[in-house]
């Protein structure tokens, strides 16, 4: 059958076409073509039988058993070798451990000796420094003493004539017993003079301190007086303001008092007038007044009622006049 259209190739999902009515024709056309046909190798060769597969599997099984036996023997041999190695390793470990302990003890002893030696060196160095300083001090003292000795010799040679003078003074005078007594008395006089000078300076200092204290007290007193004067002026000003305020309120209270008195008088007059009116109305009706003066509400109610009554009477009287 001739080909009338190209063969439709398969897509990813294996669909030939979306239209089922064209799928059969496309399938037949694809079978007729030779371009995309793949022939598997040895397509006409017969497959392996069960016996042949058994033989192959048996051979593979024997080979695996032999390999397993070889591996087992090798494993045993390696185990024995490893056990020997482990024993040797334990021996080496014990030897190294003992060696480590010995070395560690040696290092510790060395560090202790080093620390002791450093401490001894520091002590000796410090002692050497102290001794060097003492030697320097002693040398300085020796130099000073030598200088003092030379100066003392010069002073003795210089004061040699005065010794003769002191001897002559002691021989002539009846006061001094010996040259030493004369020198002691002179020293005592000099010390007394020094003490007198110190006492004078001390007293002068105390006098100056007292003067400064008095000046301070005077200044504080002056400041206090000034403050009191200021307070007094403030109080006087406050007093004047309060007095003016009191006078003002006194005038206001006087006016208020006058107003209150006038109002009270007016109230009393009104009450008297109301009470007089009440009495007049009572006499008009020949009724004895029984309401007291203090009960002004009832009096007013009574007067109100009477006035309403009089007003109605007046209205009744005015009606006939209007008719006439």
Alpha-carbon distance values, 180 to 160, 171, 177, 184, 291 (Å): 15, 13, 8, 6, 134
Q: State pLDDT tens for residues 165-204.
A: 767 777 777 676 777 777 777 778 888 888 898 899 999 9
In whole angstroms, how far apart are CA 64 and each of 56, 92, 163, 261? 12, 40, 138, 146
Question: Quick one: what percent of the chain has pLDDT higher than 70?
Answer: 81
Would the pLDDT of 2 be above 70? no
More confident residue, 34 or 8: 34
Instruction: Determine which of 19-33, 116-130, 131-145, 178-192 has the lowest per-residue pLDDT on average.
Output: 19-33
Residue 23: its pLDDT value, please?
64
Please say if the pLDDT value at position 38 is more than 90: no
Helix axes 179-284, 50-172, angle to 10 degrees: 110
Residue 26 lies in a domain: yes
Top mean pLDDT of 166-170, 227-231, 311-315 is at 227-231
Check residue 28 and report its DSSP letter: H
CB 128 within 8 A of CB 144: no
Output the 3-class SS for 250-277. HHHHHHHHHHHHHHHHHHHHHHHHHHHH
Burial 50-70 (b: 16+ CB within 10 A, else e): eeeeeeeeeeeeeeeeeeeee
279 occurs within a structural domain: no
Is residue 118 one of the residues assigned to a domain?
Answer: no
Which pLDDT score is estimated for 65? 93
Range of the domain at 26: 1-35
Judged against a pLDDT cut of 60, whether residue 323 lies above it is answered with no
Q: Which of 19-23, 161-165, 300-304 has the highest mean pLDDT?
A: 300-304
Q: Say what the alpha-carbon torsion angle 272, 276, 277, 281 is, to the nearest 10 degrees.
A: 150
- Separation of alpha carbons 195 and 36, rounded Å: 144
Tell me the pLDDT band of 16, cut-offs 50, 70 and 90: very low
Q: What is the CB-side half-sphere exposure of residue 150 using CA atoms within 13 A?
A: 5
The answer as to whether 28 is a domain residue is yes
- Sign, CA dihedral 300-303-304-305, equals positive
pTM, whole model, 2 decimals?
A: 0.28
Please state, in angstroms and rounded to a whole number, the distance separating the CA atoms of residues 13 and 254: 124
- The pLDDT value given to residue 1: 37
Q: Is the model's pLDDT at 30 over the cut of 80? A: no
Considering the domain boundaries, does residue 200 fall inside one?
A: no
- Which residue is associated with the tokens 């020094």? 194
30 domain-assigned: yes
User: What percent of the chain clears pLDDT 90, i.e. is strictly above it?
Assistant: 15
> How many separate domains does the chain show?
1
Least confident piece of the model among 19-28, 163-172, 206-215, 265-274: 19-28
- Residue whose tokens read 């290092």: 107
- 171 neighbors 177 (Cβ within 8 angstroms): no
The answer to whether residue 208 is domain-embedded is no
Q: Report the pLDDT value the prediction gives residue 64, as an integer from 0 to 100.
A: 93
The predicted-structure confidence for 297-312, as pLDDT tens digits, reads as follows 887 888 888 888 888 8
**Cβ count near 299 (within 10 Å):** 20
Q: Which of 182-186, 187-191, 213-217, 267-271 has the lowest mean pLDDT?
A: 182-186
pLDDT at 301: 82
Q: What average pLDDT score do residues 129-153 get?
A: 88
Domain-located, residue 248? no
Distance CA 260, CA 264 (A): 6
The average confidence (pLDDT) of the chain is: 81
**Do residues 44 and 36 touch, judged by C-beta distance below 8 A?**
no
210 neighbors 218 (Cβ within 8 angstroms): no
């Amino acid at each position: 059958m001739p080909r009338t259209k190209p063969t439709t190739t398969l897509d990813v999902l294996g669909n030939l076409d979306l239209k089922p009515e064209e799928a059969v024709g496309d399938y037949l056309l694809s079978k007729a073509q030779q371009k995309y046909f793949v022939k598997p190798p040895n397509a006409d060769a017969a497959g392996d039988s069960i016996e042949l597969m058994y033989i192959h599997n048996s051979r593979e099984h024997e080979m695996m058993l032999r390999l397993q036996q070889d591996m087992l023997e090798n494993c045993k041999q390696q185990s024995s070798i490893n056990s020997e190695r482990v024993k040797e390793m334990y021996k080496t470990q014990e030897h190294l451990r003992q060696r480590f302990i010995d070395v560690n003890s040696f290092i510790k002893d060395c560090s202790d000796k080093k620390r002791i030696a450093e401490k001894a060196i520091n002590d000796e160095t410090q002692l050497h420094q102290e001794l060097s300083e003492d030697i320097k001090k002693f040398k300085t003292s020796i130099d000073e003493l030598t200088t003092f000795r030379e100066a003392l010799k010069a002073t003795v040679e210089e004061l040699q004539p005065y010794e003769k003078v002191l001897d002559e003074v002691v021989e002539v005078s009846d006061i001094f017993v010996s040259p030493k007594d004369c020198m002691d008395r002179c020293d005592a006089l000099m010390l007394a003079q020094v003490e007198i000078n110190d006492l004078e300076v001390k007293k002068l200092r105390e006098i100056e301190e007292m003067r400064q204290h008095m000046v301070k007290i005077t200044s504080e007193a002056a400041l206090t007086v000034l403050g009191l004067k200021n307070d007094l002026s403030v109080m006087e000003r406050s007093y004047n303001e309060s007095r003016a305020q009191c006078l003002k309120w006194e005038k206001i209270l006087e006016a208020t008092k006058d107003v209150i008195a006038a109002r009270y008088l007016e109230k009393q007059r009104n009450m008297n007038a109301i009470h007089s009116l009440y009495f007049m109305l009572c006499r008009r009706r020949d009724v004895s007044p029984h309401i007291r003066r203090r009960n002004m509400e009832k009096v007013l109610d009574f007067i109100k009622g009477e006035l309403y009554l009089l007003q109605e009477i007046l209205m009744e009287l005015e009606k006939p006049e209007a008719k006439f």
